[in-house]
């Protein structure tokens, strides 16, 4: 059963590109020499690593359906599911469609992108899917490098 998803292959060391697609929004997080980036801006590294560690620790609880006609009921059909892709050197390690929350806390329904089986997974993944693309970007505060000019006082 665990062969459906290569969760254990998703680690901060192996993954260098993460793509999250929700409806018409999508975000691509890429690892560079100076850390994780969203576009050319720094991404929140702790949040990215948290996502990778969460996916790495996901567990399959059960297969709930093998019929593609049931995918919409679990929210894993192409039109409503979020898609997660984890890549290493342009090779896909894991791609999955994530749907509705499951019956218990920290459970959710998912299926492999190329598969009809719907699985009940356990792990706190849904918190990461709530983020908007901008929520992945690190807020960088810059201090001005120029000193303010003194305004001559009028005498």
What was the pLDDT predicted at 139?
86
CB 63 within 8 A of CB 102: no
Helices (H), the chain: 45-56, 71-74, 126-129
- Please write the tens of the pLDDT for every residue from 75-104: 999 999 999 999 999 999 999 999 999 999
pLDDT band at 4 (very low <50, low <70, confident <90, very high): confident
Structure-block tokens of residue 85: 């892709």
- pTM of structure: 0.87
For the segment 98-123, the average pLDDT, to the nearest whole number, is: 96
């Amino acid at each position: 059963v665990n062969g459906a998803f290569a969760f254990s292959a998703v680690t901060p060391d192996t993954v260098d590109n993460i793509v999250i697609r929700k409806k018409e929004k999508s975000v691509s997080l890429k690892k560079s020499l100076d850390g994780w980036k969203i576009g050319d801006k720094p991404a929140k590294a702790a949040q990215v690593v948290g996502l990778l560690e969460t996916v790495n620790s996901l567990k399959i609880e059960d297969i709930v359906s093998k019929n593609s006609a049931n995918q919409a009921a679990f929210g894993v059909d192409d039109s409503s599911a979020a898609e997660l892709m984890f890549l290493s050197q342009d090779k896909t390690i894991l791609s999955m469609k994530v749907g509705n929350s499951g019956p218990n806390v920290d459970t959710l329904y998912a299926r492999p992108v190329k598969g009809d089986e719907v699985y009940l997974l356990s792990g706190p993944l849904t918190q990461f899917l709530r983020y908007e693309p901008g929520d992945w970007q690190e807020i960088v505060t810059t201090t001005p490098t120029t000193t303010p000019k003194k305004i001559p006082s009028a005498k």
